[in-house]
């Protein structure tokens, strides 16, 4: 009866309908890919509003800003009015950033705090390591960043970190006993700078809600209905916050798919799904089983791939779509050939089956793989859009410009002051800057105070005075003038734009254009009606917050709309395309080299493959190259083990013989293929996260049919299973072939020395 009344209910199946019409009380939807989870979430929002719930009282959390914008648009469309404008929709990070902008002063931060991106954070860590007189070759910023990030996402602050025995042991085992000190110094520095990194947005939100009952009450009252998409990828901090916000009304609806959990390296835990039913005993649980996205062939392939994972909630996904084409498996000689193959196939499909550019997506494991596809697509004049990779906002000239803007908004921000105080050059040298830093530390004040405060003598000069006066003059504009006006003035009066304009080299011209592009986008920001929420805030502060929170996947421009999309599988989550190329299916690449020795990691790689396959609506290609450049030299690869998991009857192997022309393209590649893949493993934090989320029985139950493997080829780093001690990792090997002894770390059972001749071990 509703279907006749409301557009957003049309065509829903019975389970979807039940989920959409469910009004109050906790609701969880666990369902496979393409079963309409996101559609249900959107329709539910429309239904809530239509049933009289004020849009102001609805909070929807999605994975990317783009997904949020899309959701808002769909709700608007379904309702046929602009009520949806008032929805609070966004990523966890963007929503919390907004809340903290109102309440950060409670935590001792300025409300216009700066948000540091990953690069900013790493460079501060690097400095911190240096200031503690440690070696940054050993205390690598990327490693430390990941570890601190994992700690914050498990809600472990630096004090707790330094007291946790298990963490201490782990840091001394990894020979980084001073990790805790670095964490502390880094956290204090950010605080002093009035800045938060991405993880602080979650961590501080948690602190705000736990320490300030009035704030908690305010947001509990405000968010009477909470909806979360991609629930399987929420981490401990996000879960804890969500639970607090929902505590009063318990109108919480989560949708997710355990088979698509692909962010455990960032602390996300599938345990959330199990935990939900513990936390909300009367939760309604709805399963969706019909897939509306893919052909039967694609769906069957996806089902059989994921069937190889031990850890999963059983699902029975079916479709009434046609069988469709077989999966095309293609082997090429090199990565360059793989690029050519894909470009050729796209061209052919466009001619034969009338697809448009935008109907294709090339999905890879690591960003570095994009190069060969970019080259071949460019050569064939096929427009493409690289989603992710080095983004616009990471370019030097853009970061410089933004640094100025950030300093204008928040002068506590020492990192950004240092970046620009002598750019363009104005005679403030390195030594002066270092002396100012030392002075600030002595006086326990900020960099800015030392140069701006006339009562602090000795370090001010005509040059620093001119800088201070200039920044102050911009600051006076903040209140009355919008982001564009201030940004324009900054570009003009600092000499920044002129400096770039005067550089007539090819790169210089490109930099100048980039800066113009930045100004255009700021202008656009000030002229676009505010989609973000109730505030029509066009200030510079509001602009800065918005761009810092853009995720790579969000930087989609109009002109890129009809282009082939190149992206990592992580970035493709939740999306769908008529034609998908899953590329680089090679051992050590996909699954990644780092995942091979741990069952959980391997299962996560398989889920990633499942995500890739289930993006396809009509046609799917799987490709791999015999050899590719890695770390600057040509490496031979074996086909991925995942290929064997695709049932042969669904595979068209016409192309497995192509491209045997030997390597073409030459030794042009720099950096390693795995350069971007810095997912450092943080076992104890992962464990801690699991513990906080749900106590999971971790005792090893030996199987009756334990068949030992031949251990002749056992090597350090390999993962093994022991009948009694369970899973472990080989630390060292000693002795001759007849009496080899392995030291194996069995986790909770500790490190055991095992005589390989006698022990029954299985290689995992």
Active site amino acids: 37-38, 229-230, 260, 615
Query: 257 vs 414, which CB is nearer to ligand ATP?
Result: 257
Work out whether 446 is an interface residue with Mg ion (CB under 5 A).
no
Closest contact distance (angstroms) between CB of 601 and ligand ATP is 22
Q: Which does residue 297 bind out of ligand ATP, Mg ion, none, counting CB within 5 to 8 angstroms by kind?
A: none
Cα separation, 32 vs 293, in Å, equals 11
Query: 574 vs 659, which CB is nearer to Mg ion?
Result: 574
What residues line the site for ligand ATP (CB under 6 A)?
Answer: 11-13, 16, 31, 33-39, 257, 260, 292-293, 574, 576, 614
Q: Where are the alpha helices (DSSP H) in 320-391?
A: 335-353, 370-379
Q: Which of 90, 141, 491, 574 binds Mg ion (CB under 5 A)?
A: 574
Cα separation, 41 vs 20, in Å, equals 7
Query: 32 vs 141, which CB is nearer to ligand ATP?
Result: 32
35 assigned to a ligand binding site = yes
Residue nearest ligand ATP (C-beta atom): 36
Query: 518 vs 616, which CB is nearer to ligand ATP?
Result: 616
DSSP secondary structure, 118-180, as one string: HHHHHHHHHHHHHHTT--TTTS-HHHHHHHHHHHHHTT--HHHHHH-HHHHHHHHHTT-TTHH
Residue nearest Mg ion (C-beta atom): 38
Query: 374 vs 556, which CB is nearer to ligand ATP?
Result: 556
Q: Which residues contact 635 (CB under 8 A, 6 or more apart)?
A: 627, 628, 629
Closest contact distance (angstroms) between CB of 41 and Mg ion is 8
Residue 31 β-bridge partners: 288
Exposed e or buried b per residue across 659-690, where buried means at least 16 C-beta atoms within 10 angstroms of its C-beta: beeebebeeebeeebbebbebbebebbbbbbb
Closest contact distance (angstroms) between CB of 71 and Mg ion is 10
Q: Which helix (H) or strand (E) holds 75?
A: helix 65-79
Query: 525 vs 610, which CB is nearer to ligand ATP?
Result: 610
Work out whether 584 is an interface residue with Mg ion (CB under 5 A).
no
Query: 303 vs 494, which CB is nearer to ligand ATP?
Result: 303
Q: Which does residue 328 bind out of ligand ATP, Mg ion, none, counting CB within 5 to 8 angstroms by kind?
A: none
Closest contact distance (angstroms) between CB of 233 and Mg ion is 11
Q: In 3-state terms, the chain is what percent helix, strand and coil (to 5)?
A: 50, 15, 35
Considering only the stretches 1-9, 36-44, 137-145, 753-761, report the one whose residues sit in contact with Mg ion under the rule CB under 5 A: 36-44
Sheet holding 741-745, edge to edge: 751-755, 741-745, 726-734, 719-722, 761-763
Residue 409 contacts residue 396 (beta carbons within 8 Å): no
Closest contact distance (angstroms) between CB of 316 and ligand ATP is 15
Q: Which residues contact 526 (CB under 8 A, 6 or more apart)?
A: 482, 483, 484, 538, 543
Q: Which residue has the tokens 């239509």?
A: 50
36 assigned to a ligand binding site = yes
Cα dihedral across residues 300, 304, 305, 310: positive or negative = positive
Q: Where are the alpha helices (DSSP H) in 560-682?
A: 569-572, 599-613
Closest contact distance (angstroms) between CB of 565 and ligand ATP is 15
Query: 63 vs 447, which CB is nearer to Mg ion?
Result: 63
C-alpha torsion angle, residues 187, 191, 196, 200 (rounded to 10):
50
Q: Which does residue 11 bind out of ligand ATP, Mg ion, none, counting CB within 5 to 8 angstroms by kind?
A: ligand ATP
Q: Which does residue 16 bind out of Mg ion, ligand ATP, none, counting CB within 5 to 8 angstroms by kind?
A: ligand ATP
Cβ neighbours of 312 (radius 10 Å): 18
Distance of CA 706 to the CA centre of its chain: 39
Closest contact distance (angstroms) between CB of 256 and Mg ion is 9
What separation, in Å, do the N-terminal and C-terminal C-alpha atoms of the chain show? Answer: 55
Closest contact distance (angstroms) between CB of 229 and Mg ion is 6
Q: Which does residue 579 bind out of ligand ATP, Mg ion, none, counting CB within 5 to 8 angstroms by kind?
A: none
Considering only the stretches 24-32, 268-276, 525-533, 567-575, report the one whose residues sit in contact with Mg ion under the rule CB under 5 A: 567-575
Q: Which of 38, 114, 235, 376 binds Mg ion (CB under 5 A)?
A: 38
Q: For 760, phi and psi rounded to 5 degrees?
A: -100, 110
Q: Which does residue 335 bind out of Mg ion, ligand ATP, none, counting CB within 5 to 8 angstroms by kind?
A: none
37 assigned to a ligand binding site = yes
Q: Which of residues 452-481 bind Mg ion (CB under 5 A)?
A: none
Strands 616-630, 195-197: pairing is: unpaired
Task: Read off the tokens for 250.
Answer: 């318990």
Nearest of 372, 121, 104, 263 to residue 607 by alpha carbon: 263
33 assigned to a ligand binding site = yes
Considering only the stretches 33-41, 492-500, 563-571, 581-589, report the one whose residues sit in contact with Mg ion under the rule CB under 5 A: 33-41
Cis? peptide before 499, omega within 30° of 0: no
Work out whether 32 is an interface residue with Mg ion (CB under 5 A).
no
687 assigned to a ligand binding site = no
Annotated binding residues, written as ranges, equal 31-38
Give residues in contact with Mg ion (CB under 5 A). 37-38, 574
Annotated binding residues for ATP, written as ranges, equal 31-38
């Amino acid at each position: 009866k509703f279907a006749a009344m409301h557009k957003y209910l049309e065509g829903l199946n019975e389970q979807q309908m039940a989920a959409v019409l469910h009004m109050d009380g906790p609701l969880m939807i666990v369902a496979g890919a393409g079963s309409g989870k996101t559609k249900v979430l959107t329709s539910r929002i429309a239904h809530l509003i239509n049933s009289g719930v004020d849009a102001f009282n609805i909070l929807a959390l999605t994975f990317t800003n783009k997904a949020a914008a899309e959701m808002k648009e769909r709700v608007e469309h379904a309702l046929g009015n602009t009520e949806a404008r008032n929805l609070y929709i966004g990523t966890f990070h963007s929503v919390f950033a907004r809340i903290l902008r109102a309440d950060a002063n409670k935590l001792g931060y300025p409300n216009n705090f700066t948000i540091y991106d990953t690069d900013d954070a790493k460079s501060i860590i690097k400095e911190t390591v240096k200031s503690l007189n440690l070696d940054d070759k050993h205390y690598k910023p990327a490693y430390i960043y990941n570890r601190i990030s994992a700690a914050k996402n498990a809600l472990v602050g630096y004090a707790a970190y330094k007291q946790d025995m298990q963490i201490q042991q782990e840091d001394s085992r990894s020979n980084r006993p001073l990790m805790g000190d670095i964490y502390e110094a880094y956290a204090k520095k950010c605080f002093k700078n009035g800045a938060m990194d991405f993880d602080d947005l979650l961590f501080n939100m948690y602190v705000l809600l736990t320490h300030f009952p009035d704030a908690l009450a305010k947001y509990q009252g405000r968010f009477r209905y909470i909806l979360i998409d991609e629930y399987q990828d929420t981490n401990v901090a996000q879960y804890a916050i969500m639970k607090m916000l929902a505590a009063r009304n318990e109108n919480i609806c989560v949708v997710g798919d355990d088979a698509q959990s692909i962010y455990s390296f960032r602390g996300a835990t599938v345990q959330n799904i199990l935990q939900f039913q513990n936390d909300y005993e009367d939760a309604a649980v709805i399963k969706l089983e019909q897939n509306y996205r893919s052909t039967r062939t694609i769906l069957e392939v996806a089902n059989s791939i994921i069937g190889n994972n031990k850890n999963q909630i059983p699902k029975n996904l079916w479709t009434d779509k046609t069988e469709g084409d077989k999966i095309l498996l293609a082997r090429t000689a090199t990565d360059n050939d793989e690029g050519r193959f894909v470009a050729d196939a796209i061209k052919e499909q466009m001619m034969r089956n009338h697809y448009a550019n935008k109907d294709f997506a090339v999905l890879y494991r690591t960003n570095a793989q994009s190069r060969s596809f970019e080259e071949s697509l460019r050569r064939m004049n096929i427009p493409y859009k690289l989603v992710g990779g080095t983004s616009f906002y990471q370019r030097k000239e853009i970061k410089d410009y933004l640094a100025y803007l950030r300093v204008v908004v928040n002068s506590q921000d020492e990192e950004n002051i240092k970046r620009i105080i002598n750019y363009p050059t104005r005679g403030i040298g390195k030594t002066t800057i270092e002396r100012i830093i030392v002075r600030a530390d002595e006086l326990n004040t900020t960099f800015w105070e030392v140069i701006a405060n006339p009562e602090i003598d000795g370090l001010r000069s005509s040059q620093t005075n001119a800088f201070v006066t200039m920044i102050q003059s911009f600051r006076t504009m903040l209140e009355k003038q919008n982001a564009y006006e201030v940004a324009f003035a900054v570009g003009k009066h600092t000499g920044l734009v002129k400096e770039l304009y005067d550089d007539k080299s090819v790169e210089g011209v490109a930099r100048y254009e980039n800066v113009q592009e930045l100004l255009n986008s700021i202008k656009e920001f000030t002229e676009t009606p505010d989609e973000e929420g109730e505030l029509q805030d066009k200030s510079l502060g509001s602009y800065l917050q918005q761009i810092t929170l853009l995720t790579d996947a969000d930087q989609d421009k109009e002109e890129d709309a009809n282009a082939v999309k190149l992206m990592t599988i992580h970035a493709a989550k939740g999306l769908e395309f008529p034609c998908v190329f899953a590329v680089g299916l090679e051992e050590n690449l996909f699954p990644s080299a780092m995942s091979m020795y741990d069952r959980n990691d391997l299962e996560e790689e398989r889920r990633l493959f499942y995500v890739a396959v289930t993006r396809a609506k009509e046609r799917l290609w799987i490709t791999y190259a015999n050899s590719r450049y890695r770390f600057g030299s040509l490496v031979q690869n074996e086909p991925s083990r995942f290929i064997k998991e695709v049932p042969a009857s669904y595979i068209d192997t016409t192309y497995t013989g192509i491209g045997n022309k030997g390597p073409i393209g030459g030794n042009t590649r720099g950096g390693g293929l795995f350069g971007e893949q810095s997912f450092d493993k943080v076992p104890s934090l992962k464990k801690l996260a699991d513990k906080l989320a749900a106590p999971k029985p971790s005792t090893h139950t030996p199987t009756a049919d334990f068949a030992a493997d031949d251990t002749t080829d056992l090597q350090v780093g390999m993962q093994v299973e022991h009948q009694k001690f369970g899973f472990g990792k080989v630390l060292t090997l000693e002795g001759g072939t007849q009496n080899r002894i392995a030291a194996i770390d069995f986790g909770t059972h500790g490190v055991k020395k095992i005589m390989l001749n006698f022990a029954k071990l299985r290689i995992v």
